Structure 1
Amino acid sequence: MLTSGAVAVAFLCLVILTSFLACRYGLLPFKSKNKPGTRIESFLQKNESIHPKRYTYADVKRMTKSFAVKLGQGGFGAVYKGSLHDGRQVAVKMLKDTQGDGEEFMNEVASISRTSHVNVVTLLGFCLQGSKRALIYEYMPNGSLERYAFTGDMNSENLLTWERLFDIAIGTARGLEYLHRGCNTRIVHFDIKPHNILLDQDFCPKISDFGLAKLCLNKESAISIVGARGTIGYIAPEVYSKQFGTISSKSDVYSYGMMVLEMVGARDRNTSADSDHSSQYFPQWLYEHLDDYCVGASEINGETTELVRKMIVVGLWCIQVIPTDRPTMTRVVEMLEGSTSNLELPPRVLLS
């Protein structure tokens, strides 16, 4: 007959064995974790009324002719050219198989599916089949702003005029204003940069790549995020450290300002090689030499001088270190559409 001690040991062994088998084969509900695909499927079911058409992986292969034409490559995966049954050309972004828990995929679908604006790229469909994830967008024949604004060749056919750069700047501002205030659900992009501004056949700018975007309640001002998100050089100070202020839509304003000032500096390279600003923080240099720079960059054309001045002054306002000192995107649009006579330079407080 077994003693009480032996029974206890046997029971303990049975518990250990049962726990091992349960963990090994996923029988314990508190040990099991939803696979990324399951989490995404659940998200898609809850948002079925807003997300665009779903395609199979076979459909994606067919529309891209087995991924014959690659348009670009990035950390997220690759983009291929394709066409739908009705003849519309599309850009198919194939996300890498190792895209974590699917957060970027869901962000993209959730964000763009809620938008409808001439300056925001249109998501036409998506694919989710096993580990295969794809996002299908309207095709932008002129690529990204990065391709045009930041060429090193002053005689290149890719060099945009000041007038066209200004139109791109104001179009992007309108798109951001819509995301911040015009949507039913407010959207903060968190990755505004030249690479994510796409240009259609008429060079109309469209904001793209919502993988880092944050959906917010309309009345919500401060945003909570885990870790810094965005691209170095365009990330607002408060995203790095709370000592600068709270994270909000003003973080996009900062990124927009840095992009506009980079557009200005990249367009005019006459001052880059032989002037005294090459070793100085460029926004600070612009602040100190605004009048001379505007006249030099525009070749003494009055109208162009005004456009350049608007871009610089607005850019300097947008990159103020303290978020509350920056304008809203609504105010940015007003400044760009208004007269330069009403534009004042911001306080000389820049992050160098």
Structure 2
Amino acid sequence: MSNFDSGTGSQQFDDFTKQASKTFNSFTAYAVVISIVNLVATVLVVYLIYRCCRKHGLPSINVKTTTTGEAATELTPLLPDSMIRNTTIDNFLNEIAREKPIRFTAQQLEGYTQRRSAELGAGGFGTVYKGMLPNGLDIAVKVLHDHMDDEVTEQQFMAEVGTLWRTNHANLIRLIGYCFDADERALVYELMANRSLDKYLFDRRHRVVGPAALLVIAGGVARGLRYLHEECQKKIIHYDVKASNVLLDGNLTPKLTDFGIAQLLSRADAQASVHAMRGTFGYMAPEVISVGKAPVTERCDVYSFGMLLFELIGRRKNMDNNAPESHKFLPLLAWTMYEQGNLLELVKECHYPVAASDEEQWKEAAERMCKVAFLCVQEQPEERPTMSTVVNMLEGHMEIPPPVYPFGWMYPQEASAGSGSKSEVFIRIDT
């Protein structure tokens, strides 16, 4: 009886063990399947978020907060010097600083700029200093003036960070990071080897830029504006397009900068809401000078770009009070020579050493750029071309229609040959 009971118990134990093993194996299989499903689901969610960000852009940055800057800290955590030091410049730009600007402390920027020892320039909103990150990347640090009204400084800061956060284009300056400490607002950009376009053009110590290079520079700025107006998620009006706000890298690639008064609009917005003048006299469109008399749209940037084109071909500022009376206002001088079919003389008068073998190329470039400029500076915004059309005309993809006299709002056409009253009118506008 005991042998029988022992055998039966042993058999029951074996059956139980087999059943338990089978149950455990089933449970393990289920757990593995569930883990795989969860992993696949996580990867799918991450991929969908990535696709959404690629298509619609990153969320808007909001740094308008208390003086401690908690919101900025949450969006962009501080990056320690050790992490920057241990990565290559290419990896830093392509991976770390690609998705959103980095937040730096005031102490870090003091070290990067060696206590602001090398000033590159100063403007209405801030001073720019040369610096270097721990990994050897050259940077330009724009420190906003602390003597300005806090609200104005904050608005300018938010406009620049909020605008450049949304953009990614070869002809727009790259914002690497910013500082939003209680006592300091600063912006950190890639350093441009040839600095600003106005210094490169107007400083005679720089080498002469040939006609092909001038067209490339003009086309680059135009493509940057086309991107702002027509291609990025939000329509962006720059409002201050001028030579000093175009930077040149080592290859003379132009990059539009200084977005402190830029305005972001919905694609559905036909016009901007403007209550005061924006920009720099001499470059401002008529509708921006006389706010309220006509709707302000992105075509005001087209006007400013036209004025920039005159300076590119003339290698001088649009207004020169030291020049002879008929030569003081460069755009009007260009129109006079265009009517006479003698734009090459404009190039020669602006001190370009033109070799006989290069005259045809200079003539073609001067005519193309001046004709486009005349179209861009028409008084009525709707008569100016879009930046897409400007790019196509500059690059020779479409014919340039004959321009009409564009300066009637400043002086009548019958006075275009030259008179004392013309420069007086422009001086009032330009001061």
Counterpart amino acid of 2:333?
W
Residue 331 of structure 2: SS of its match in structure 1?
Answer: helix
- Whether contact under 8 Å (1:160, 1:267) holds in the other structure is no
Shift of 1:103: 0.2
Determine which of 267, 283, 293 is the counterpart of 2:343: 293
Shift of 1:76: 1.7
Q: How far apart are the structure 2 equivalents of 1:162 and 1:267?
A: 15
Match of 2:221? 172
Determine which of 322, 336, 341 is the counterpart of 2:380: 322
Determine which of 330, 346, 352 is the counterpart of 1:282: 330
Match of 2:196? 144
Q: How far apart are the structure 1 equivalents of 2:324 and 2:147?
A: 47
Match of 1:349? 406
Q: How far apart are the structure 1 equivalents of 2:397 and 2:360?
A: 13
Deviates more, 1:67-76 or 1:159-168: 159-168
Q: Quick check: 1:61 aligned with 2:110?
A: yes
> Paired residues, what number?
312
Q: How far apart are the structure 1 equivalents of 2:157 and 2:207?
A: 32
Match of 1:12? none
Shift of 1:306: 1.1
Summarize the Cα distance change of 1:213–1:198 in structure 2 as closer, same or farther, 3 Å threshold.
Answer: same
Q: Quick check: 1:105 aligned with 2:153?
A: no
Residue 38 of structure 1: SS of its match in structure 2?
Answer: coil
Match of 1:38? 66
Q: How far apart are the structure 2 equivalents of 1:139 and 1:160?
A: 21
Q: How far apart are the structure 1 equivalents of 2:249 and 2:391?
A: 21
Shift of 1:67: 1.4
Q: How far apart are the structure 1 equivalents of 2:288 and 2:323?
A: 35
Summarize the Cα distance change of 1:232–1:267 in structure 2 as closer, same or farther, 3 Å threshold.
Answer: closer
Summarize the Cα distance change of 1:314–1:127 in structure 2 as closer, same or farther, 3 Å threshold.
Answer: same
Q: Quick check: 1:307 aligned with 2:365?
A: yes
Gaps of 5+ in 1: 1-34
Q: How far apart are the structure 1 equivalents of 2:146 and 2:168?
A: 29
Shift of 1:211: 0.2
- Whether contact under 8 Å (1:145, 1:199) holds in the other structure is yes
Determine which of 157, 160, 164 is the counterpart of 2:206: 157
Match of 1:195? 244
Q: How far apart are the structure 1 equivalents of 2:156 and 2:170?
A: 23
Match of 1:95? 144
Counterpart amino acid of 1:297?
V
Deviates more, 1:238-247 or 1:210-219: 238-247
Counterpart amino acid of 2:332?
Q
Match of 2:183? 131
Shift of 1:268: 11
- Whether contact under 8 Å (1:192, 1:252) holds in the other structure is yes
Deviation string 1:33-90 (CA, Å, 9 cap, x unpaired) is: xx97628947747976974110111111111122121111222221111111222110
Residue 68 of structure 1: SS of its match in structure 2?
Answer: coil
Summarize the Cα distance change of 1:268–1:245 in structure 2 as closer, same or farther, 3 Å threshold.
Answer: closer
Question: Identity, % of aligned pairs?
Answer: 35
Deviation string 1:270-302 (CA, Å, 9 cap, x unpaired) is: xx99977325x4323322321212366274622
Question: Residues 223-238 of structure 1 correspond to what in structure 2 (within 5 A)?
Answer: 223-238=272-287
- Whether contact under 8 Å (1:64, 1:82) holds in the other structure is yes
Shift of 1:173: 0.3
Counterpart amino acid of 2:215?
F
Counterpart amino acid of 1:228?
M
Counterpart amino acid of 2:264?
L
- Whether contact under 8 Å (2:277, 2:291) holds in the other structure is no
Match of 1:114? 166
Question: Residues 208-287 of structure 1 correspond to what in structure 2 (within 5 A)?
Answer: 208-242=257-291, 245-266=294-315, 277-278=326-327, 281-287=329-335
Q: How far apart are the structure 2 equivalents of 1:243 and 1:345?
A: 30
- Whether contact under 8 Å (1:51, 1:110) holds in the other structure is no
Q: How far apart are the structure 1 equivalents of 2:322 and 2:185?
A: 45
Residue 92 of structure 1: SS of its match in structure 2?
Answer: strand
- Whether contact under 8 Å (2:326, 2:333) holds in the other structure is yes
Normalization by structure 1: what TM-score?
Answer: 0.81
- Whether contact under 8 Å (2:238, 2:262) holds in the other structure is yes
Q: Quick check: 1:70 aligned with 2:119?
A: yes
Counterpart amino acid of 1:248?
T
Normalization by structure 2: what TM-score?
Answer: 0.66
- Whether contact under 8 Å (2:276, 2:291) holds in the other structure is no
Residue 115 of structure 2: SS of its match in structure 1?
Answer: coil
Counterpart amino acid of 1:108?
E
Structure with higher RCO (Cα < 8 A, 6+ apart): 1
Q: How far apart are the structure 2 equivalents of 1:191 and 1:40?
A: 31
Counterpart amino acid of 2:261?
L
- Whether contact under 8 Å (2:317, 2:330) holds in the other structure is no
